[in-house]
Amino acid sequence: MQKETQKWLVILVGGFVSVLLSYQIFPKLPEVSLSFFIAELLFEPFKLLVSVLFFIIGFLAHAYIIRKVLAKVQVERKAITPLEWLFIVGIGISYLILIIVHSWLVLAALVLAVLYGTMDVDLERKKGKRRDSN
């Protein structure tokens, strides 16, 4: 259990740092318009690419924890341990801190993490039902 806890802690902190770095690296646009975005994409494509990669790493890290907890509850029918609640609260606190920094990017990461984690659990549950019926 100790290694699993350390793994989840690294994933939680890595997700937080990745989303934060994504915001820091993302090109700052004076106004939100398609022409400014295309100009930034043409003149600084590397910054946008690195920012998008950090964004993907961040939301996937949080989606992993969400998926593991939901799979335990929905598929395995087990109760959530206090340590798992602590990680869920940690994800919530990290997103609250990040929302203070920049709301739209962080809200997008949160929505994607929850949706991806939930969809992945549904696929696991459907796989389990197919195995049971065979």
Which pLDDT tens digit goes with each residue over 116-126?
Answer: 887 877 666 66
pLDDT band at 57 (very low <50, low <70, confident <90, very high): very high
Across 28-46, average pLDDT: 77
- How far lies 74's CA from each of 1, 12, 32, 59, 86, in Å? 21, 22, 41, 21, 19
Rounded mean pLDDT of the chain?
79
Angle, in degrees to the nearest 10, between helices 2-25 and 82-101:
10
pTM above 0.95, yes or no: no
86-133 pLDDT, tens digit per residue, is 878 888 888 888 788 777 777 888 888 888 887 877 666 666 665 444
C-beta separation of 115 from 67 below 8 A: no
pLDDT band at 54 (very low <50, low <70, confident <90, very high): very high
